[in-house]
Amino acid sequence: MPKPKVFILNDDAVQNSYGFYIVTSGGKLDRFKSNPVMLSDHINKNENVIGNWLNIEVINGLIQAEPNFDVARPIGLEISGQVERDFIKGASMGILPNWDSMERVGEKLILKEWELVEASIVPVPSNRNSIAIYSLDGKLLEESEIQTLCLSVQSAPKLNPKKENMKKIILSVACLMALGFKEQPTDGLDVADVEAKLLGLSGQVKDLTAENSGLKLAAQTAKEAQEAAVKLAVTQKVDLAVTQGKIPADKKEAFVQLGISSQEVLDTTLDSIPAKQNFSAGVTVPAGSGGVEVKTMDEFEKLSFDQKSQFKLSNPEGYTKLFK
């Protein structure tokens, strides 16, 4: 089985027909990889779609791919045969350049950022004599338009005068580390770069401050909820103790505060205090003890003065229990 042909779509070491170099690493290939259309001579019409590209790879400054021809159509079959017979050997990229990234480095004009739109089978390789440049609206630029753009960059005295005249600053080692700079040039760092780092750190500080405030609020809310739960539990214990007659009602708040400080101490204290006998249980006086029988305080209050005196004298223990 013959080895599949591989076409070089770009070689950033080779100057193209318009006089500039295209940096391979600066190319955006995602859109092309999702629809790796193969055209004939950059003619963007359905009848000129002759296949697609497979195994698109970036290796050592090269972009290479394998053609997959649509041999079910006459044009695809015809061009496929010409490629197989080595009559056609060239491929050409159709790109959308970022003209602001065009720089003059020494004698070379270099395009550093661009996007691959399509790749066509052409009679000559793309880097040598053929390349298609698209505008933002998807139209192919005329050769004169491309040359004008290139000449405007070539004739400029400096690629980026603003950058060349940028102020420099020398930072201490501690500042370099804090801002994340790996090294410091001998002439210093660009002030704009330092400011950008500082703005980035400022944004991080704002984000962390907001996050910290949120955590503090959550912690405070949780603390208040916990304190409320503790107070509720303690109050219920103290209310029960008041009901049981262990502590007087006017001492309730003091015992609540004791329980909030330490529930263990509150429990120990309340457990050590005996509950008073409920008056509703009454006091039964045995028959023959003066003929007066009292079971409750209400019954005692209904007695005459003489009967109360008789009860007190004949049953001092029962009398005492009624008034506990």
Q: pLDDT-derived band of residue 12, with 50, 70 and 90 as boundaries?
A: confident
Mean pLDDT of the chain: 81
Residue appearing with tokens 């790749």: 119
Q: How many Å apart are CA 274 and CA 245, to the nearest integer?
A: 8
Decide if pLDDT at 287 tops 50.
no
Best mean pLDDT range from 7-16, 151-160, 227-236, 308-317: 227-236
Tell me what the mean pLDDT of segment 272-289 comes to: 55
Write down the pLDDT at residue 153.
Answer: 63
Best mean pLDDT range from 67-76, 162-171, 195-204: 67-76
Q: pLDDT-derived band of residue 61, with 50, 70 and 90 as boundaries?
A: confident
Write down the pLDDT at residue 257.
Answer: 93
Decide if pLDDT at 145 tops 80.
no
The 3-state secondary structure of the chain reads CCCCCCEEEEECCCCCCCCCEECHHHEECHHHHHCCEEEECCCCCHHHEEEEEEEEEEECCEEEEEEEECCCCHHHHHHHHHHHCCCCCEEEEEEEECHHHEEEECCEEEECCEEEEEEEEECCCHHHHCCEEECCCCCECCHHHHHHHHHHHHCCCCCCHHHHCCCEECCCHHHHHHHCCCCCCCCCEEHHHHHHHHHHHHHHHHHHHHHHHHHHHHHHHHHHHHHHHHHHHHHHHHHHHHHCCCCCHHHHHHHHHHHHHCHHHHHHHHHCCCCCCCHHHCCCCCCCCCCCCCCCHHHHHCCCHHHHHHHHHHCHHHHHHHCC
Its pTM surpasses 0.75? no
Half-sphere exposure in the Cβ direction for 299 (13 Å, CA)? 16
Write down the pLDDT at residue 304.
Answer: 82
Higher-pLDDT residue of 81 and 154 is: 81
Task: Give the strand pairing for 90-97 and 132-133.
Answer: parallel
Tell me what the mean pLDDT of segment 66-89 comes to: 91
Tell me what the mean pLDDT of segment 7-29 comes to: 87
Decide if pLDDT at 34 tops 90.
yes
| pLDDT tens readout for residues 99-120 | 888 888 888 889 999 999 998 8
| pLDDT tens readout for residues 203-234 | 788 888 888 888 888 899 899 999 999 999 99
Tell me what the mean pLDDT of segment 266-295 comes to: 64
Decide if pLDDT at 159 tops 60.
no
Decide if pLDDT at 40 tops 60.
yes
Tell me what the mean pLDDT of segment 293-300 comes to: 78
